[in-house]
Amino acid sequence: MTADLTGQLLPTELARVDALPFLTGPDHATALVAMGGDVTYGELRRRVEARGCELGAVRRLVLLEAAHDVDSVVTYLAALAGRHPLLLLGPGELERSAHLVTTYRPDVVQDGAGLRELRQGTAHDLHPDLALLLSTSGSTGSPKLVRLSLTNLEANARSVAAYLSVRASDRAVTSLPLHYCYGLSVLNSHLLVGAGVVLTDLSVADECFWDLVRAHDVTSLSGVPHTFELLEASGFERRETPTLRYLTQAGGRMDPERIRGFAELGRRRGFDLFVMYGQTEATARMAYLPSDLVAERPEAIGVAVPGGRLCVEPVEGLGEGIGELVYEGPNVMLGYAHDPADLARGATLTRLRTGDLGRLAADGLFEVVGRRSRFAKVLGLRLDLDRVERLLEDQGLVARLVADDAVICAFVDRPRVQTRVREALAEITTLPPGALRVERLGSLPLTSTGKPDRASLTGHLARLRSEEPAPAQPGGATPATASPEAVRDLYAVLLGRPEASSADSFAALGGDSLSYVEVSMRLSSLLGELPTGWAHLTPTQLAASARRPRRFVVRVDASAVLRAVAILLVLITHADLVLVAGGAHVLLAVAGYNLARFQLGLTDRGDRIRGVLRGAWHVALPAFCWIGAVAAVTSAYDTSTVFLLNGFLGRDTWDDNWQFWFIEAVVLGYLALAVLLAVPALDLWQRRAPFGSALVVLAVTLAVRYVTVGVEAGPTERYSAAVVLWCVALGWAAAAARGRLQHALVGVLAVVATAGFFADGQREAIVVAGILVLLLDRPVPLPRAVGLAVGVVSSASLWIYLTHWQVYPLLEAAGHPYLAVLASLVVGIVAHAVYTRLGARPGSLGRGFFRTLRARKPRA
């Protein structure tokens, strides 16, 4: 006898493991391969029985954050065996899906904290056939769920196992999320026949993923179109995968040429490719394209799966032979759930109207030609957005289209294509220019399942079309208008993240020091004084802390003020207006300070590494563009300078190639840190001891300086990246310091580290003063006009530094130092604005590249 969560004594038979079709493998056969070791079917059955006793005899609604671990699989199977309906979410999505949780009120929850009971018994009337609830809406928070039965799950698994010829000796790998119907179908179809599944969170772009594939003789790999893009980008065609029997692709239309390419690769390497078509409403699969037809007919979805039937029903206004695809079969869902009352309903349909437009070709294969819901009427003209996207693709232009009644908007993620896309749209649609809009994002958003996130793009278009962000009223916004949605919308626009939600902080969305100033100024106008650590608070938390902004005063982050002052010191010194050197070394400290606040403030190691690399990229790319352009036109700089390698390959004496030493130092420091964080033990140590680790880094960088040049640095040595990294480390330590003692220690270390470095007391005092300002960690109250000016200069400081070398010399030589400083400011601010306007907003540029680095598995 075993106690369940309600305290009742229950027999272990309650789990009814013997009746579950997914647990029939032999006791000795391996069911799951995980980090903690293999789990046989016999052991899995015992664990499922035990978990079933924990869940109890009364049928209850169980919410499961389905991670790729044994415990999640055990709970999933135990709930099915005990007839407890499951609501599946992705790992960590409980907070993001708060609306869903509030609507359906689960009785039991299993998340990262384990299994816990929210109430005794159940609050619901649950239909006997209800087994599973899945979302079809990605991360939008819609309460609309698909209701599935155990019969649906078993029928789908048997069908898939039949046409893929899944064997007991096969092993799949979790390359897709288990809360996604496709990923769950892979698990079910393999457990059904007694095969094995390798559980891993690794991406297909991770080398360790392929070590697992080879070590455990994986025979199949499943993916959505994005997965196959990652396979191409990570060199799949060169990988040795001797046990791989087949690949499967579903989850959206994949480019026919890519399909043909993988089919041809499979022919050479000995694996098959199956292209499949389905929807969550059909428990994943409705049609498949046999592997022997893939290369010949890559544009087709194939034939109905075993046990199912597809037909084309005419739709008024469409061409002959084209209509809506309708599916019948035992895997068709019970129906939708919109609220808890729907959980008591049984089957409400036997035929599934897919919403997809298709036709039956002469060779007996079905084709999808569009989607009914993707037809838009813009200015009275009916447009098939899917067809327009395909016509753009035919011209080599990748775009995602959304529309409202007055405008069609194309979202792109490649530079310098906006004009071509606009011209192509005008030609294809015949719409007037005012009805066409092209917006560039850092990357085109995907749902967690790897499909185009059109809901995010539709919402983003609505935000762009609205009047927000509205200028602050004379009295400022009130807390009543400072909603979480307003903060989220501001992040979405300023950071180029249309998928931003009210649960995403500035730092979590990839915000960094380059976007921090503009965002903080705009937030201050919306929310008033920002709380300490606001960059790590969600929009919901920020809105709750809103205060009425002051009419004439704005509080500006100290690091932003310091950055503006430091770049002014650089200009004033270089223009020979007044000799106040040291500004660039202060900027190094500010870079370290913001590095610790933003990138190191994240908790996930992968996010931290990508954040640091993105920070380096946001500094290096503008430098490469500007220095490269100047070098091409004037030959003023060597190639080593263009690639930020002058400190390693340049001359030992000062020349123009040393002008960008500051940029080299920042990029080198960021790259070095990324390498250190790639070591799990070092990453863990830094998170556990943020101040201690900062002091160690400071000690190491000072040791490099003292060993290399001693106390005093020479004329070019003081600009060598390796020698000045202690400035970055000092800023890092200032951000990590907590309490008076640690602040005082950093202040003392700043004096000690700086003393004698320049052999110039004033210059050393300026650097120390900069560190002390960072240690204050308080916003600076400024008159509103001054604060806005500081924000503009601070945001543009990188471009001011880059461009001023080509601006001030002529004016200085002509005897106009004041004009030289002013012109340098104006040119840098304009360059920054142009760079941002061209789609290279610091918060979004390069995000597609770093998503590829991240290569996170698609998740819903």
- The angle subtended at Cα 579 by Cα 575 and Cα 581, nearest 5°, is 95
Write out pLDDT tens, residues 223-233: 988 899 889 88
Tokens 């990029």: give the residue. Answer: 667
Q: Is the C-alpha dihedral spanning 332, 338, 343, 347 positive or negative? A: negative
Scan for tokens 């789609």, then name that residue: 839
Mean pLDDT of 540-550: 69
Residue 377 pLDDT exceeds 70: no
Confidence of residue 706 (pLDDT cuts 50, 70, 90): very high
Q: Does position 796 have pLDDT exceeding 80, yes or no?
A: yes
**In the prediction, which pLDDT does 468 show?**
35
Residue 480 reports pLDDT greater than 80: no
d(CA 103, CA 63): 12
230-258 tens-digit pLDDT: 898 888 998 999 999 999 999 888 889 99
The pLDDT tens digits of the residues spanning 629-686 come to 999 999 899 999 999 999 888 888 889 999 999 999 999 999 999 999 999 889 889 8
86-89, strands of its sheet edge to edge = 114-117, 108-111, 62-65, 86-89, 130-135, 145-149, 335-337
Segment 19-66, tens digit of pLDDT: 799 999 999 999 999 988 999 999 999 999 999 999 988 999 999 999
Mean pLDDT of all residues belonging to the chain: 85
Q: How large a percentage of the chain has pLDDT more than 70?
A: 90
pLDDT band at 4 (very low <50, low <70, confident <90, very high): very low
- Encoding tokens for residue 720? 């060598």
| Residue 344: CB atoms within 10 Å | 13
Using CA atoms, how far residue 325 sits from 200, 207, 249, 301, 351, in Å, is 35, 40, 20, 11, 10
pLDDT band at 1 (very low <50, low <70, confident <90, very high): very low
With bands split at pLDDT 50, 70 and 90, how would you rate the model's confidence at 791? confident
Short-list 401, 404, 463, 461, CA closest to 428: 401
164 pLDDT more than 90: yes
Which whole number is the average pLDDT over 735-763? 92
Tally Cβ neighbours within 10 Å of residue 2: 16
The side-by-side arrangement of strands in the sheet containing 246-249 is 220-223, 246-249, 272-277, 287-289, 303-304
- Give per-residue pLDDT as tens, 825-856: 999 999 998 887 775 444 444 444 444 444 44
Give the pLDDT score at 668: 94
Average pLDDT over residues 576-595: 91
How large a percentage of the chain has pLDDT more than 90? 53
Cis peptide bond prior to 85, omega within 30° of 0:
no
> Is residue 464 helix, strand or coil?
helix
pLDDT tens for 597-606 read 888 877 778 8
At 473, the pLDDT band (50, 70, 90 cuts) reads very low
Tokens of 830: 């304009």
pLDDT band at 132 (very low <50, low <70, confident <90, very high): very high
Q: Which residues contact 29 (CB under 8 A, 6 or more apart)?
A: 40, 41, 168, 194, 196
Residue 316 pLDDT: 76
Confidence class for position 7, pLDDT limits 50, 70, 90? very low
515: pLDDT strictly greater than 60? yes
Q: Please, which pLDDT band fits residue 549 given cuts at 50, 70 and 90?
A: low
What is the predicted pLDDT for the residue at 494? Answer: 74
On the question of pLDDT at 156 being above 60, the answer is yes
pLDDT at position 853 is 42
Q: Please state the rounded mean pLDDT for residues 294-304.
A: 95
Report how far residue 96's alpha carbon sits from residue 80's, in angstroms, rounded to the nearest whole number.
25
pLDDT at 848 (0 to 100): 44
pLDDT tens profile 201-224: 998 988 889 999 999 999 999 998
Strand partners, 452: 446
Residue 6 confidence (pLDDT) above 50 = no
Residue 512: per-residue pLDDT: 67
Confidence tier at 464 by pLDDT (50, 70, 90): confident
Please check whether residue 342 is in contact with residue 381, taking contact to mean a CB–CB distance below 8 angstroms.
no
> Which domains are present in the chain?
150-332 (3.40.50.12780), 558-605+644-784+816-835 (no CATH)
What tokens does 209 get? Answer: 């993923």
